[in-house]
Amino acid sequence: MADDLRAGGVLEPIAMVPPRPDLAAEKEPASWKEGLFLDADPCSDQGYHANPGATVKTLIPEGKTPFPRIIQTNELLFYERFRAYQDYILADCKASEVKEFTVSFLEKVLEPSGWWAVWHTNVFEVLVEVTNVDFPSLKAVVRLAEPCIYESKLSTFTLANVKELLDLKEFHLPLQELWVVSDDSHEFHQMALAIEHVRFFYKHIWRSWDEEEEDEYDYFVRCVEPRLRLYYDILEDRVPSGLIVDYHNLLSQCEESYRKFLNLRSSLSNCNSDSEQENISMVEGLNLYSEIEQLKQKLKLIENPLLRYVFGYQKNSNIQGKGTRQNGQKVIHVVSSTMKTGLLRSLFKDRFCEESCKEETEIKFHSDLLSGINACYDGDTVIICPGHYVVHGTCSIADSIELEGYGLPDDVVIEKRGKGDTFVDCTGMDVKISGIKFIQHDSVEGILIIHHGKTTLENCVLQCETTGVTVRTSAELFMKNSDVYGAKGAGIEIYPGSKCTLTDSGIHHCKEGILIKDFLDEHYDIPKISMINNIIHNNEGYGVVLVKPTIFCDLQENTQDEINDNMVQKNKEADVTEGLDLEEMLQCVASKMQPYATADSSEQAKGNCEIINELLAISMQKGRMKKRLSELGITQADDNIMSQEMFIEIMGNQFKWNGKGSFGTFLY
């Protein structure tokens, strides 16, 4: 990048601001400054790279006023910001030292006077000259440039108002509101980049409560890096829109609660009386503090790339089904880009001459796939003829319909193109999809998301790009003789409270095969899972990953300390009963698996046993926890351990060549 700057990568400035050779000739810590703006970073995330030549440009602010060109710096790449914060600005500072380190950085880069900038606000822009920099306050002392160049978005806000505002501010302006004007000096580009780093940090990275967090020497690792990655993940459409909305809402709630907390704490510090009102305020302060801590934990969950992948978030689908037609009639929709006589003859022979097809059944023909799906009511069938169908947008299936490919999956291909969160959304009570190949592009979320109801997937191929099939809370998936591959996330994501049956299917070449999710701050029923005769192979991580909350173990210990001797004895008796149930369940499962174990490889049998033992242990642990909490009056007991099973059947599955093994757990 330093070479690009020296090569004259900046457009010719308007002859409004004279070059300043006196500044350019001054001594520079060349190696230090050039290192800040180097292109290469061997430790950076390659996924964030773009064209390095687009780093520093100049532009003319919109409007008729001939403003001088400013150095445009807000299109920096991830690795450029990452390296600047890590190596030159923040390093290993504590949260309480951020301001000090930032000031030290600016003192090395910024000229204290003699440079021009555009003071940019939401209302107006005006050209100013910097006469001094107050580094500790991150402000510049300015005066209006001569000649004065000014532009306002509001006709009522005049230049006189600007001068009055400057007087009120005592001519001290935040550096974040200044955009450096370009001239022939490379020094100005370095100053513009330095100010941009500070502006970006305080706008997108810094939180007002950071200073009160644990003051350790890992502020960059704990806060800066995950927030920076989240910013670029959002910028590059790698985060679902629903999760982005959740994050911004949580951030606003936390900022509002923290502001109230600071005001309350300030009022208490100024009050020396031991009044009832003060006691009420202290209770309110404790409640606010607890609320803030919970919000901060949720924010950290989303900011952490691994955690926001592992944990789920609740997404409510707004798709409304049409229900049945008023006359109760069901329609067969035939989708084909072109309809030829041979195809029509085959259709009538194979599909419309069956006994189940009544003479009065209505048939509608569509050339567009989405129009055929959108025309459906409850009980309708969509027959998709061989062909390659390109879809821009989301296929929303809100009614109980059947989507049937006429031919082999490779003959009936539906390809998603264009930006968007999802490919296929299912909310119908009983949706059936068969004989189709889905190819996903650009979607942020899964290739198929089941929000509600039951979706049956049979003889299908799913070529994924992000996540494969997502089974959300209270939804149900039955997948048979299907193939899921290529997901950068998990091939199958199973949410709490859902039901998933996988039979004779393949899940391969994904980041993880199957990911069983959990929520951090809420309790849901564990999912019900059946896995029979599947082949899970060549995944980057594990064949199956289970999110296992350690919080239950901690609660178990704390609860046990608080229960009296009688309750402890009762719990021990319950543990014995649970142990017997566990042994019976293991024996039952072992007997079911025995016919398959003889034919399977040792890795396959080992994988099935690992999953069964782990899921049974979790079931038993959660059952114990519910009982013990119930005796404290915290929740209602559930004495039926069998109702807490996470699986119905797990047998005959083959686990081959998965990078980390057949089964793993993620502890939090």
476: left (phi over 0), alpha (psi -120 to 50) or beta: beta
pLDDT at residue 75, rounded to an integer? 85
3-state secondary structure 519-535: CCCCCCCCCEEEEECCE
Q: Is residue 386 pLDDT above 80, yes or no?
A: yes
Total-model pTM:
0.68
pLDDT of residue 74: 78
Between the ranges 8-22, 474-488, 551-565, 568-582, where is the mean pLDDT highest? 474-488
Q: What is the mean pLDDT of residues 368-394?
A: 93
Answer yes or no: are the C-beta atoms of 405 and 375 closer than 8 Å: no
Q: How far apart are CA 197 and CA 102, in angstroms?
A: 10
Please compute the mean of the pLDDT values over residues 237-262 and round it to a whole number: 89
Of 1-5, 176-180, 399-403, give the lowest mean pLDDT range.
Answer: 1-5
Q: Which SS3 state, helix, strand or coil, does residue 159 take?
A: helix
One-letter identity of residue 381: T
Model confidence band, residue 332 (pLDDT cutoffs 50, 70, 90): very high
Q: What is the pLDDT of residue 272?
A: 61
For residue 203, name the pLDDT band (cuts at 50, 70, 90).
Answer: very high
How would you write 396-453 as a 3-class SS string? EECCCCEEEECCCCCCEEEEEECCECCCEEECCCEEEEECCEEECCCECCCCEEECCC
CA 378 from centroid of its chain's CA atoms: 34
Q: CA 370, CA 80: separation in Å to the nearest integer?
A: 43
* Mean per-residue pLDDT, 547-557: 53
- Confidence tier at 401 by pLDDT (50, 70, 90): very high
How confident is the model at residue 520, as a pLDDT?
53
Asked whether the predicted pLDDT for residue 47 surpasses 50, the reply is: no
State the CB neighbour count (10 A cutoff) for residue 572. 10
Predicted pLDDT at 285: 86
Spatial neighbors of 453 by CB under 8 A, at least 6 apart, are 400, 426, 427, 428, 429, 430, 431, 475, 476
| Predicted local confidence at residue 438, as pLDDT | 96
Least confident of 232-236, 248-252, 426-430: 232-236
More confident residue, 323 or 626: 323
Helix (H, G, I), strand (E, B) or coil at 243: helix
Number of residues written out for the chain: 668
> Do 59 and 216 form a contact (C-beta atoms < 8 A)?
no
Between CA 255 and CA 295 the distance in angstroms is 10
128 three-class SS: strand
Give the range among 32-41, 150-159, 445-454, 541-550 with minimum mean pLDDT. Answer: 32-41
Question: Considering the chain, what percentage of its residues have pLDDT values greater than 70?
Answer: 72
Closest alpha carbon to 592 in 534, 647, 536, 652: 652
Q: What span, in angstroms and rounded, lies between the C-alpha atoms of 556 and 194?
A: 52
Tokens at residue 549, please?
């909350």
How far from the centroid of its chain's Cα atoms is residue 143's Cα?
45
Conformational region of residue 533, where left means phi above 0, alpha means psi within -120 to 50, and beta covers everything else: left
Residue 540 above 80 pLDDT?
yes
Q: Which residue has the higher pLDDT, 401 or 62?
A: 401
pLDDT in tens, 146-201: 888 989 888 888 999 999 999 999 999 999 999 999 877 676 888 999 999 999 99
Packed helices 551-562 and 602-631: angle between N→C axes, nearest 10 degrees:
40
pLDDT score recorded for residue 6 = 34
**Which residues does residue 507 pair with via DSSP β-bridges, in sequence order?**
484, 536
Helix (H) or strand (E) holding 302: helix 276-303
Q: What type of residue sits at position 147?
A: P
Q: What is the mean pLDDT of the chain?
A: 78
Question: Kind of pairing, strands 402-405 and 430-434?
Answer: parallel
Beta pairing partners, 115: 130
> For 109-148, how does the pLDDT look when each residue is reduced to its tens digit (9 = 90+)?
999 998 999 999 989 999 999 999 999 999 999 999 988 8
Q: Specify the range with the lowest mean pLDDT, choosing from 23-32, 75-84, 557-566.
A: 23-32
pLDDT band at 431 (very low <50, low <70, confident <90, very high): very high
* pLDDT interval class at 622 (50, 70, 90): low
Angle, CA 283 vertex, CA 280 and CA 288 arms, to 5° = 125
Calculate mean pLDDT across residues 277-299.
86
pLDDT class for 393, splitting at 50, 70, 90? Answer: confident
